[in-house]
C-alpha cells in the first residue's frame, strides 16, 4: 500500500515536471506568438490588446501559474486559430486515435506472443531466422516510406483498400470502417509486433534455460506444459511494462501514420497545431498525451504488482 502511495506521489511529481517542460516548450519558440493571429489589416492597438488578452504581457512565471491552474480545472485554453476549446478538439479526435492504437496494440500482442514463444522455443530454426529478418525490417523501416508503398500497392495498383480517412463518404458501416483501418493498422503493427516478438522471444529463451524449467523437465513435465504453464506467464509479464512504455512510441508513430492515411486522430491534430503555430493547442496536446502516458505507466506498474506476487513480496 505504501508502495502504491509512494508511486502516486511520484506520478504527481512527474506530472508537475511535465507541465513545466510543456510550458517551456512553446516559450522557447522564437518570435512573437501573437503574430499567428495578426492579419495585415489589424491596428497596432488591437494587436497589443490581443497580446494582453492572451496574457502574454505578464511575467513568464505568472503565465505558467495561470496556465497550470486552468489545466487543473480542466481548461486547456482555446485554439488561436478557430477559437474552439483545446480539450474539446482533443476529445473529439481521441476515439479515432484510440481505435487505431488499440487495434494495433492488441493485434501486436496477439501476434507477438505465439511468434515469440515459438521462435524462442525453436531458437535458430528456419522459422526463427525468417521471423528475425522480418522483425529487423520492422524496427528499421522508415514509417512513411512503408506507408506510401502500401498505398501505392493496395490502393493505386490493386484497388483493394481505401487509403484515406476513417470512412467512405456517406457510408457508415462497420465493414467500411474496418477496411479503412487495415492499412494504417498494418503500418503501426509491423513495427510494434517486431519489437514485442523480440522481447518475448528473448525472455522465452531466458526462461527455458532457467533452473526451474530444468527441474520441471527432470520431473518429466511435457514441453508444451512447460511452455504454457511457466514460460508463457513469465515471458508475458515484462510485456506489461513494455506496453506501458510503448504507449509513447505509439502516439508518436501515429503522428506519421495518421498524416499519411489522413486518419482524423490526435496525431494529425498535433501536426496541424504545429503547422499553424497554434500554441495553446500544442501545449494542450503535449500535456494531454503526457498525462495518458504517465497514467498508462502507473497502471502498468500497479498491474504488474497485482499479477506478479514476487514483486509484491520483494517490494
Partner 1 sequence: MRDNIMKNLKLGFKEDKLAVIGVIIILILTVTSAFAFLYPVDANAISVTSRLAKPSLIHPFGTDDMGRDYLARCLYGGRASLLVGFLSMILSTMIGVIVGSISGYMGGKIDAILMRFVDALMSLPTFLIMVVMNAYLKPGIKNVIIIIGLLTWMSIARIVRGETMSLKEREYVVYSRISGQSRLKIILQHILPNIMPTIIVTATINIASAILMESALSFFGLGIRPPTASWGSMLNNAQGYMIKAPYLAIFPGVLILLTVISFNYLGEALRKIFEHK
Partner 2 sequence: MYKKNKNRVLMILVLTLLVSSLTACSTNKTDANSNSKGSNDKKVTSAVADNTEPQYGGNITLAESADPQNINPLYVVDQTSFDIQQAIYVPFFEIIKGDIYYGNGLLESITPNQDSTEFTLKLKQNLKWHDNEPITADDIVFTINTLVDKKQNVPYQSYGYIDGKAIQVEKVDDLTAVIKLPTASAGFLGGLSQIYCIPKHIYEGVKDIGKSDLNNKPIGSGPFKFKEYKPGQSFVVERFDNYFDGKPYLDTITFKIVKDANSANASLANGEIQGRLINSEDYDTVKSYGTVNINSYNSGRVNALGFNQLNDNLKDVKVRQAIAYALNKEELVKFAYLSDDFATAAYSIFTPDTLYYDDSLTKQDNDIEKAKALLKEAGKSNLKLNILYISTDKTMESEATYIKEKLKEININIELYPLDESTYKNKIKEKDSKDYDLVLQFYTLGEEPSLYADIASGSSRSNYSHIEDKDLDNLWNEGNTTSDATKRGEVYKQIQQKINDNMYLYPIAYSNGFYAVNKDYAGFDKAILKTIYYDYSKIYKVK
Which among 12-20, 35-43, 108-116, 225-233 is the span making contact with partner 1, rule CB under 8 A?
12-20
3-class SS string, 112-134 = HHHHHHHHHHCCCCHHHHHHHHH
Which residues in 155-214 contact partner 1 (CB under 8 A)?
156
Burial of 263 (0-12, 13-18, 19+ CB in 10 A): buried
31 counts as binding partner 1 under rule CB under 8 A: yes
By CB under 8 A, is residue 130 in contact with partner 1? no
Determine contact, residues 90/269, Cβ cutoff 8 Å. Answer: yes
Residue 13 binds to partner 1 (criterion: CB under 8 A): yes
Phi-psi category of 198—alpha, beta or left, where left has phi over 0 and alpha has psi -120 to 50?
Answer: alpha
Interacting residue with partner 1 among 78, 89, 119, 143 (CB under 8 A): 143
Burial of 288 from C-beta contacts in 10 A (0-12 / 13-18 / 19+): buried
Residue numbers at the binding site for partner 2 (CB under 8 A): 31-32, 35-36, 38-43, 46, 81-83, 89, 92-93, 96, 148, 151-152, 155-156, 159, 162-170, 259-262, 264-265, 268-269, 271-272, 274-277
Residue 136 interface partner, choices partner 1, partner 2, none, CB cut-off 5-8 Å depending on type: partner 1
Among 231, 297, 300, 301, binds partner 1 (CB under 8 A): 297
Residue in 23, 10, 11 with CA at minimum distance from that of residue 70: 23
Binding site partner of 191, from partner 1, partner 2, none, Cβ cut-off 5-8 A by kind: none
Least distance in angstroms from the C-beta of 100 to partner 2: 12
CA distance 68 to 167: 37
Site string for partner 1, 257-286 (x = CB under 8 A): --x-------x--xx--xx------x--xx
169 binds, among partner 1, partner 2, none (CB under 5 to 8 A by kind): partner 2
Do 76 and 269 touch, CB atoms closer than 8 A? Answer: no
Number of helices and strands in the chain (H, E)? 13, 0
Q: Is 26 helix (H, G, I), strand (E, B) or coil?
A: helix
Query: Should residue 115 be labelled a site residue for partner 1 when binding is judged by CB under 8 A?
Result: no
Which residue is associated with the grid cell 520483494? 314
Q: Using CB under 8 A as the criterion, which residues of the chain lie in contact with partner 1 when the complex forms? A: 10, 13-15, 17-18, 21-22, 25-26, 28-31, 136-137, 139-145, 148, 152, 156, 245, 248, 251-253, 255-256, 259, 267, 270-271, 274-275, 282, 285-286, 289-290, 293-294, 297
Amino acid at each position: 500500500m505504501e508502495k502504491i502511495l509512494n508511486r502516486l506521489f511520484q506520478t504527481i511529481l512527474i506530472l508537475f515536471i511535465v507541465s513545466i517542460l510543456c510550458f517551456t516548450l512553446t516559450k522557447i519558440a522564437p518570435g512573437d506568438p501573437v503574430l499567428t493571429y495578426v492579419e495585415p489589416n489589424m491596428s497596432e492597438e488591437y494587436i497589443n490588446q490581443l497580446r494582453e488578452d492572451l496574457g502574454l504581457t505578464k511575467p513568464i512565471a505568472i503565465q505558467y501559474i495561470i496556465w497550470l491552474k486552468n489545466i487543473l480545472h480542466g481548461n486547456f485554453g482555446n485554439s488561436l486559430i478557430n477559437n474552439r476549446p483545446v480539450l474539446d478538439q482533443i476529445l473529439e479526435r481521441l476515439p479515432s486515435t484510440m481505435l487505431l492504437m488499440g487495434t494495433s496494440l492488441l493485434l501486436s500482442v496477439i501476434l507477438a506472443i505465439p511468434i515469440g514463444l515459438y521462435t524462442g522455443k525453436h531458437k535458430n530454426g528456419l522459422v526463427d531466422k525468417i521471423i528475425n529478418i522480418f522483425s529487423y525490417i520492422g524496427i528499421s523501416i522508415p514509417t512513411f516510406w512503408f506507408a506510401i508503398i502500401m498505398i501505392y500497392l493496395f490502393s493505386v495498383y490493386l484497388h483493394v483498400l481505401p487509403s484515406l480517412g476513417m470512412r467512405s463518404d456517406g457510408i457508415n458501416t462497420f465493414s467500411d470502417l474496418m477496411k479503412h483501418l487495415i492499412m494504417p493498422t498494418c503500418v503501426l503493427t509491423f513495427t510494434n509486433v517486431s519489437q514485442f516478438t523480440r522481447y518475448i522471444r528473448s525472455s522465452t529463451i531466458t526462461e527455458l534455460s532457467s533452473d526451474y524449467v530444468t527441474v520441471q523437465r527432470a520431473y518429466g513435465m511435457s514441453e508444451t506444459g512447460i511452455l504454457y504453464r511457466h514460460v508463457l506467464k513469465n515471458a508475458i509479464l515484462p510485456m506489461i511494462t513494455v506496453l506501458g512504455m510503448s504507449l509513447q512510441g505509439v502516439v508518436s508513430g501515429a503522428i506519421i501514420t495518421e498524416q499519411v492515411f489522413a486518419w482524423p486522430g490526435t496525431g494529425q491534430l498535433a501536426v496541424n497545431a504545429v503547422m499553424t503555430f497554434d500554441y495553446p493547442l500544442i501545449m494542450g496536446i503535449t500535456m494531454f498525451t503526457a498525462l495518458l502516458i504517465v497514467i498508462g505507466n502507473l497502471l502498468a506498474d500497479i498491474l504488474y504488482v497485482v499479477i506478479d506476487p514476487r514483486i509484491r513480496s520483494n517490494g
